[in-house]
Amino acid sequence: MTKTKHIAARLLLAKQRPLTSLIEKELIAGTADFEYDKSDWVPLYFDRGNAVTSDCGTITAFRAATLQGQLLWMVHTPGKSCGYHADCDDPFDAIEQAKTSWASRKAVRQDWDLVEQTAKDLLWGKQRFDVRIEDAHASPLCTAGVEGFRSAIGLGRFTKMPGWMAAVLFKVEPQMGFVIHAAMQRHAAEQSKASQMDVVPSTI
């Protein structure tokens, strides 16, 4: 990323500071309040001086700006190494999005052995189904992270990949398991629907 993109992101973030004059915003753009982060394939700056805390006091949403010029809320909670990137305007909506995502991830992890076995089956050709962009968006991963990963691996223009490729990517990025899980559910639903259509109605 160019230095210009870093400067632009910091300036954009400074403009989001409430009750701050234009001169002050230009000055704070160069302060340590703006922290660089590139976790989950989303390079951005987040502002420790522009944050909102949940009613329970355990979750904090920091205003953030990506190097692509997109404004986000980066949601953090103790015990989690990475934050959640919410692309909504309201910080409390961002916190709710994060809580929903974390709960869904916890539920999927209950099936993680099945996810790992399915990935092995896809890799060795024992199962065959595509993994699609809609599976990624149906998973509990944030949209910014999904798009950042797709761009990083050169698949930004593609809308699907063979299952074996998703299994290979799972070895590189474990969070790909959430996408495989969503694809498993979609594939199972499609098979169920197809089998119902194949049933010949009885005649009287």
- Residue 202: per-residue pLDDT: 53
What phi and psi values does residue 92 have, to the nearest 5 degrees?
A: -75, -35
- Residue 120: per-residue pLDDT: 97
- Residue 3: per-residue pLDDT: 85
Residue 204 has pLDDT above 80, yes or no: no
Would you call 105 exposed, middle or buried from its count of C-beta atoms within 10 A (0-12, 13-18, 19+)? middle
Q: Which of 57, 35, 30, 60 is closest to 46 using CA atoms?
A: 35
150 and 165 Cβ atoms separated by less than 8 Å: no
Q: DSSP 3-state assignment of 187?
A: helix
Where in the chain are the domains?
A: 3-97, 111-195
Question: Which token pair is 62?
Answer: 């920091």
What does pTM read for this prediction?
0.86
**Mean pLDDT, rounded, for 158-172:** 96
- By DSSP bridging, strand 34-37 and strand 44-53 are antiparallel
Lookup result for tokens 């060795």:
124
- Residue 156: per-residue pLDDT: 87
- Provide the residue count of the chain: 204
- Residue 86: per-residue pLDDT: 97
- Residue 30: per-residue pLDDT: 57
Task: Give 99-105's long-range contacts (Cβ < 8 A, gap of 24+).
Answer: 99/59, 100/140, 101/140, 101/141, 101/142, 102/77, 102/140, 104/140, 105/140, 105/178
Residue 95 has pLDDT above 60, yes or no: yes
- Residue 98: per-residue pLDDT: 96
pLDDT band at 17 (very low <50, low <70, confident <90, very high): confident
pLDDT band at 180 (very low <50, low <70, confident <90, very high): very high
